[in-house]
Chain A
Amino acid sequence: DGGITQSPKYLFRKEGQNVTLSCEQNLNHDAMYWYRQDPGQGLRLIYYSQIVNDFQKGDIAEGYSVSREKKESFPLTVTSAQKNPTAFYLCASSERGQGEKLFFGSGTQLSVL
Chain B
Amino acid sequence: AQKVTQAQTEISVVEKEDVTLDCVYETRDTTYYLFWYKQPPSGELVFLIRRNSFDEQNEISGRYSWNFQKSTSSFNFTITASQVVDSAVYFCALGANTGNQFYFGTGTSLTVIP
Contact = CB atoms under 8 A, between A and B. Distances in A.
Interface stretch (B60-68, B77-85, B103-111): B103-111
- Among B9, B95, B102, the most chain A Cβ lie within 10 Å of the Cβ of B102
A41 B106 contact: yes
Contacts of A100: 95, 100
A35 B91 CA distance: 14
Interface in B34-54: 35, 37, 42-47, 50, 52
* Interface size of A as a range: 20 to 34
B33 A98 contact: yes
A87 interface: no
Nearest to B51: A99
A48 interface: yes
Interface string A80-98: 0000000010101010111
A31 interface: yes
Contact of B9 (A40, A44, A99): A40
Interface in A50-70: 50, 56
A34 interface: no
Nearest to A101: B47
Contacts of B31: 98
A88 B43 contact: yes
A102 B47 contact: yes
Contact of B44 (A40, A45, A99, A104): A104
A-B residue pairs, 8 tightest by C-beta: A99-B33, A42-B106, A107-B43, A104-B45, A43-B104, A106-B44, A42-B104, A101-B47
18 contacts: A41-B106, A42-B6, A42-B106, A45-B101, A45-B102, A50-B100, A56-B99, A90-B43, A98-B97, A99-B33, A101-B50, A102-B35, A103-B47, A104-B37, A104-B45, A104-B46, A105-B44, A106-B43
Given A90-B45, A99-B52, 19 more contacts: A33-B102, A40-B9, A40-B106, A41-B106, A42-B6, A42-B104, A42-B106, A44-B104, A45-B101, A96-B100, A98-B95, A99-B32, A99-B95, A100-B95, A101-B47, A102-B37, A102-B47, A104-B37, A106-B43
